[in-house]
Amino acid sequence: MKNLKFRTRLFVSFCAVLLLAILLPGFYVYNTLESELLKESREKALRHLDFIEWMLAGEAPFESNAALDRWATSAGEKLGSRITLITPGGAVIADSSVPYKEIRYMENHADREEIRSAKARDPAVSIRYSSTLKQELIYAARKINSPTGSDDLYLRTAYPVSSVENRLSNYTENFLAGLALIFALTFLFSVYLARKFEAPVHQVINRLKAIAGGDFSHQYILDSGREFYDLSMTLNETADRIREQMEVISEQNREMETILENMREGVMLIDRTGRIKALNRSMAGIAECHLSCIGKRPLEAFLNSEVQAACNKILQGRSEYSLTISMEQERYYEMYAAKIPDGGALMVFYDISERKRLEKIRRDFVANVSHELKTPLTSIKGYVDTLIAGDFSINAQGLAFLSTIQKNAAQMTNIVNDLLELTRLEEKPPHLSLQPVEAARMFDSTWETFQPIADEKQIRLDNRLTSPLWVYAHESTLSRVFRNLIDNAVQYSPQGGTITASSEAGNVEIIFAIQDEGPGIAPAHQDRIFERFYRIDKERSRASGGTGLGLSICKHAVAAMAGRIWVKSPPPGQTRGSVFCFSLSRAEASEAITAPTDPE
């Protein structure tokens, strides 16, 4: 139906309605008429039977069956029906439609429907096919007294049902003729209506095509009634809105193109098949191509497997992904990839080469300065220790000055050592040989060094680390992580507090947690506490001898061991305190037997 013209669909619809409206009542009337005609024919057959019985009673008695057959033949010709007399045994003794000489050859009629019914009730009527006359007849039969003086007989009359069929046939012919006339009128009326309605419909179609082609001028559907006039007004309003929206979209597209083309960051659009769909001028400079990049995969444009891997992750369902990549000529980019609604990916490249260069200069400077300061600080600390411990004549004020110099020299030495350790961990790649390490035993040995300080503050350890906990780690580096986290927990825990150490073992990694009951860390500081020299309470940190590098060292140390570290403050279900968590890859105890010895 979708592919048919409006005219054809209208005609088919009218025909379908007419068929339902005419055929169903016509079928009902036909069945009703047929039933009434058959009922009338049955009643007529019974009246006919009564009349023949009355005539037969007036002519009786007959001297023989032959005389009875002559009377039946004469009466049947006059009445236009078949008259048959049958004995109770079923033998035919007279029949108006069969010569008397052939009656003896007729079949036994005891099993005929009307005879069987007449035996059960009086009278009986049936409609069936006559094998003798080769046509369908209406039979009526009744048991009567024999007109020949013998036993009782069955009187049967019959006449063709063709009269009923002729009446039904005439009704059917008239009905079909009327139906044909109605269909002809319907066809003409549907053609007229289709032509009347097709014109405005075609105007609507042409108007929509014009709007789709960019023609937003006002037009009206003429001679089409109030409804189509309202439709034309709606189309004109729609055209105005589409024009306004297209102008807005075009202006926005021009603004967006201007913004993208003048951005310093490289922007690239990937379609759902993983090929480059569009890119701005900065990205073309990064990839050293422009139009030639369109249609290629990121690997073909950048010759960098990390870029292609990031694109694949987004196309496989990940919502966003970021990483830092390096290009030729010491160019570094921070790449951010995000999924877009149509199934593709948006990739943005931030040039961080200058920042990387400054970071390298800073690291080299810190490393060089730390190395240069380590020797004089060691010398100063040695001389001060000698002066304090030696047999020298120094008054109390001098000893106080020496004690201050000793304390500050020790603080500076710790800072220098931490800076050197941090510089070592920041090397790319880190020179750490990871081996299976039993972390619970290492935590116990690390806690022993802090036991005296914890006892002074009456701090209790709730150690929930149950051996064995095998992880892939660098032994001294893991010990440094435990040492720094325990040091922080002891420093910030209140007098008589509790430090809780726990772990959560998964199939791939083990998560360690060290929780204190300190004042906690505000959300504004939680993202920055792993930065070097970042202190929340600077005065307290300096008074405790902290360098401000402990958590930064932990962050780089855990990253160097392929793990991650984070903080929760306050811990879930509590109002104060902090819990520092870090994860390491899980190892098996059997691997520790064959693991090589760490040369460091």
Give per-residue pLDDT as tens, 27-37.
777 777 777 77
The pLDDT of residue 596 is above 50: no
Task: Give per-residue pLDDT as tens, 208-229.
Answer: 787 777 777 766 665 556 667 7
Give the side-chain half-sphere CA count within 13 A for 536: 15
Question: Which segment of 81-90, 253-262, 313-322, 487-496 scores lowest on mean pLDDT?
Answer: 253-262
Asked if 475 contacts 482 with a C-beta cutoff of 8 angstroms, the reply is no
What predicted TM-score, i.e. pTM, was given to this entire model?
0.42
CA distance 229 to 200: 10
Pair 85, 142: CB distance under 8 Å: no
Task: Please give the average per-residue pLDDT across 336-360, as a whole number.
Answer: 83
* DSSP H helical ranges for 157-297: 162-212, 225-261, 281-287
Q: Which secondary structure element, helix H or strand E, spans residue 262, and what is its range?
A: none
Residue 152 burial class via C-beta count within 10 angstroms: exposed 0-12, middle 13-18, buried 19 and up:
exposed
Q: Average pLDDT, stretch 232-256?
A: 83
Neighbours of 16 (CB within 10 A): 10
* Phi, then psi, of 395 in degrees rounded to 5: -75, 180
CA-to-CA distance for 179 and 23, rounded, in angstroms?
9
Distance CA 101, CA 399 (A): 168
Residue 47 Cα distances to 81, 123, 141, 417, angstroms: 13, 11, 11, 135
Among candidates 255, 254, 284, which has minimal Cα distance to 268?
284
Q: How far apart are CA 577 and CA 568, in angstroms?
A: 9
Q: What is the DSSP letter of 464?
A: -
* Res 528: pLDDT: 79
Q: Among residues 21, 4, 2, 31, which one has the least CA distance to residue 183?
A: 21
Sheet strands side by side (includes 153-160): 92-95, 82-86, 153-160, 135-144, 124-130
Can the peptide bond before residue 147 be classed as cis, meaning omega within 30 degrees of 0?
no
Using pLDDT thresholds of 50, 70 and 90, give the confidence band for residue 366.
Answer: low
Helix (H) / strand (E) element for 326: namely strand 320-327
Contacts of 414 (CB under 8 A, 6+ apart): 545, 547
Whats the size of the chain, residue-wise? 600
> How far is residue 348 from each of residues 138, 185, 236, 298, 324, measured CA to CA in Å?
98, 71, 42, 13, 12
3-class SS letters over 62-110: CCCHHHHHHHHHHHHHHHCCEEEEECCCCCEEEECCCCHHHHCCCCCCC
Over residues 50-79, mean pLDDT: 83
- pLDDT, position 513: 93
Alpha-carbon torsion 243, 249, 253, 254, what sign?
Answer: positive
Provide the pLDDT for residue 557: 86
Answer left, alpha or beta for residue 60, where phi above 0 means left and psi between -120 and 50 means alpha: beta
Is residue 220 within 8 A of residue 229, CB to CB? The reply is yes
Nearest to 320 by CA among 302, 298, 346, 341: 346
Look at the alpha carbons of 476, 521, 586, 590 in this order and tell me if their dihedral is positive or negative. positive
The C-alpha atoms of residue 304 and residue 456 are separated, in whole angstroms, by 57
pLDDT in tens, 36-55: 777 777 778 888 888 888 88
Residue 4 φ then ψ, to 5°: -80, 155
Residue 339 has pLDDT above 70, yes or no: yes
Instruction: Give me the residues paired with residue 153 across strands.
Output: 144
**Can you state the percent helix, strand and coil of the chain, rounding each to 5?**
55, 20, 25
* Lowest model confidence (mean pLDDT) among 96-110, 401-415, 456-470: 401-415
pLDDT, position 599: 41
Q: What is the pLDDT of residue 470?
A: 92
